[in-house]
Amino acid sequence: MNNVKVQITPATDLYAELRQSCLPRNLSLREPADFHDPIPISERLVQAIWCDQLFDEHILRTRDGKLLKVIHPGRWNVEGGPDFTGAHLQIAERSIRGDVEIHLHTTGWNSHRHHENPAYNRVILDVCLWDLGGPAVVRTADGAVLPQLVLHPCLQCSLEELVESLDFDRYPFGPTRNARPSPLAHLPKERMADYLESAGTFRFEQKVTRISAGITQHGAEQAAYSFLAEALGYKHNKLAFQQIATALPLVELLKRPMVDRKIEALLTESARFRLRISQVRPANHPHRRLAALAVIADAHPKLEEWFGDLVEQPEKLQTPPRCVHPFWSWHYNHHGKRLTKPCSLLGRDRWKEIVCNVILPFCSANARLRGNTGLMEKALQRYIQFPASQSNLAARHIARDLQVSLPRRMLQQQGLIQIYQDFDLLLPDVL
């Protein structure tokens, strides 16, 4: 296969240059083979990782080598002081309760001067993403030795996958949202649309590169299935659904002769992973989403070919495929009452998200690897013209900050989300 590099659109550089000039270099990270361009890593990301315990709990050790077990991570603190309160840990044989502080680097405790602040005396663990050295021993203001945990070697997957799969909308914001000037705020209003489109195109290219890596590593069919599963995980279960798709590959799923057997296999596999059910709308119950994955795989076993056909026939991209099941179309869960009318397994907005985040970038990535520039251009044009879905909280925040209307096209909507990811998640004292 030929790895063809094609300039998607000159407008991509507009946002890329802004991003490069405004983002602090010490908050960007490039992991081998994972990034087209470094993503900004913020303490909010590390807070989310700690909150949901997205690491291998069996290999946790403090920086000085003691075994660590997290009995309870604590409650996310949206007021001043430590990031998490009321945590319960076991370090070596000692059970301790107190607060947890989050930093990007092991130098953060002292550089933020927590060692001089009595408000942090109840901290029992300093959780850091990376080990950048610093003192071998850090202390609280009252002189107590504070254990440190370096998370990066223990993560379940790459940081890029975590950024893509975590839904930051559902994590606590502070008492008031950080209000600071956006790097785009000084631009003339007539240029704002250009920057939003450039940011949206930039985001599309990031997805293309990520999916290209998946195709290269796992093959086109498995990659299509894995990214489709991730999208069906919706806000709360993206990472879990990706793990399920890896544990039960498409080739094994298709060996099940009927759709019910496929659903049963996915549900059985899902029991091994931590699915989030609380705060999930009944219609979005993860078991219904897994049923939708099975129905789609049963109807379209050659996903690579199906995705390509959709791009060639753009009218089909506008309408969700028929996704019905005699049980799951009428029930929210296994034990719930039968609904008075059927509820779609795949709604219009979720389908738009799948088209934008999976089908179009997949076809562009697959075409690039095969040297098919014609299909690449078609996939991009479909993306540019595609109508927006219902705006999420991140897009609404940035639209308000920039004083622009919520966009009608997916391209600009994705641009708002990219700006949020790049700039709004960073701490206010960084920019």
Give residue-wise pLDDT tens across range 228-283: 999 999 878 898 999 999 999 999 999 999 999 999 999 999 999 888 887 678 88
pLDDT of residue 10: 41
147 shares its domain with 255: no
376 shares its domain with 229: yes
Domain-embedded: residue 151: yes
CA distance 418 to 412: 10
156 shares its domain with 250: no
Residue 46, token pair as written in the block:
């590390």
User: Which of 170, 185, 212 is where one domain is finished?
Assistant: 170
CB-facing half-sphere around the CA of 319: CA atoms within 13 A: 5
pLDDT of residue 428: 39
136 shares its domain with 270: no
Domain-embedded: residue 14: no
133 shares its domain with 266: no
234 shares its domain with 297: yes
Are the beta carbons of 242 and 226 closer than 8 angstroms?
yes
Packing angle, helices 189-218 and 220-232, rounded to 10: 130
CA distance 80 to 97: 19
CA distance 319 to 342: 18
- The count of domains in the chain is 2
CA distance 17 to 143: 46
CA distance 201 to 361: 11
DSSP annotation of 77: P
215 shares its domain with 290: yes
User: Which of 134, 155, 170 is where one domain is finished?
Assistant: 170
Packing angle, helices 238-247 and 259-270, rounded to 10: 110
Domain-embedded: residue 220: yes
212 shares its domain with 137: no
Q: What angle do CA 312, 316, 319 make, to 5 degrees?
A: 155
DSSP annotation of 81: S
Domain-embedded: residue 187: no
260 shares its domain with 369: yes
pLDDT of residue 370: 94
| Residue 234 belongs to domain spanning | 193-393
265 shares its domain with 347: yes
160 shares its domain with 216: no
Domain-embedded: residue 186: no
What is the radius of gyration, based on Cα positions, of the chain?
23
CA distance 431 to 414: 22
- Report helix, strand or coil for 141: coil
pLDDT of residue 182: 64
Backbone angles phi, psi at 295, to 5 degrees: -60, -45
Q: How far is residue 4 from each of residues 9, 358, 379, measured CA to CA in Å?
A: 15, 20, 15
pLDDT of residue 39: 63
244 shares its domain with 304: yes
Q: What is the pTM of this model?
A: 0.75
Domain-embedded: residue 213: yes
Domain-embedded: residue 227: yes
CA distance 380 to 377: 5
Residues of the chain with pLDDT under 70: 1-12, 24-39, 164-165, 167-170, 173-183, 279, 424-431
Domain-embedded: residue 177: no
Q: Which long-range contacts (CB under 8 A, 24 or more apart) does 95-99 make?
A: 95/71, 96/124, 97/124, 98/122, 98/123, 98/124, 98/125, 99/74, 99/123, 99/124
What is the chain's length?
431
